[in-house]
Amino acid sequence: MKIIALLPLIAMLSACTDTGGLLESRTVVIEERSNNKVDAIVRDESNFNWSDLTGSSTSVSDSSQVSAKEQVVAKLKASNTNFILYFSYDGVDISETATQEIIKHANFMRDNPNIKLRLEGHADERGTREYNLALGENRALSVKEVLGLYEGLEGRIEVVSYGEEKPIAQSHDETSWEKNRRVEFIYE
């Protein structure tokens, strides 16, 4: 049910996403359902290749490929892409702003099939350890659900929950708790 509710939002946001000049074409995929409703998903056909950013189009050894991956991820960071998404208290819902960031990561992963992504879910210290582990996992799964709308990404995304175990901020106030309610994108 969540996926159906997110499809129109993702389609609208995909159409509005700025790809920094990398956009070449878009294809609209339309699927007719038995109840005469039509769902439309905008598939971004832009290319974001390792060689575009590293200046190399030849194959490289494993050690230099790691270096190339690090360079590309650094360029992705430099393009104002967020690698941390924040959530509301006890929330797992994806905001419109977060959806735009997830789409950037989906495009990046789609165009670079040799990389994998680990989504690390976190929670603030309030609640039991078990509850916070489940909450962190559900946050990461919400992000994975949006990424799963893109073909070919499902098997390359791992979800890990740390609950309250790895806080960014150590204080016991709302400002710190806001920083600790997050999902981090870790490329491998």
pLDDT at residue 72, as a whole number: 72
Place of tokens 């974001």: 48
pLDDT at residue 25, as a whole number: 36
**83: number of Cβ within 10 Å:** 15
R_g (Cα) of the chain, nearest Å: 18
Instruction: Spell out the residues 6+ positions from residue 104 whose beta carbon is closer than 8 angstroms to its own.
Output: 17, 76, 79, 81
Instruction: Spell out the residues 6+ positions from residue 157 whose beta carbon is closer than 8 angstroms to its own.
Output: 116, 117, 118, 119, 144, 147, 148
pLDDT at residue 125, as a whole number: 93
Q: What are the pLDDT tens digits along the chain (188 aa)?
A: 555 555 555 555 454 444 444 333 333 333 333 444 333 444 444 444 444 444 444 444 555 556 767 777 777 777 777 899 999 998 999 999 999 999 999 999 988 888 899 999 999 999 999 999 999 999 999 999 999 888 888 889 999 999 999 999 888 888 889 999 999 999 98
pLDDT at residue 85, as a whole number: 93
SS3 44: strand
* pLDDT per position as a tens digit, 95-140: 999 999 999 999 999 888 888 999 999 999 999 999 999 999 999 9
Q: Would you state the structure tokens that stand for residue 97, as one six-digit string?
A: 């702003």
Cα-Cα-Cα-Cα torsion 146, 150, 154, 159, nearest 10 degrees, comes to -30
- Catalogue all structural domains in the chain, each as residue range(s) with its CATH number: 2-56+65-187 (3.30.1330.60)
In sign, the C-alpha dihedral spanning 112, 155, 107, 46 is positive
Start-to-end C-alpha separation, the chain: 31
pLDDT at residue 185, as a whole number: 94
Cα-Cα-Cα-Cα torsion 72, 74, 75, 81, nearest 10 degrees, comes to 120
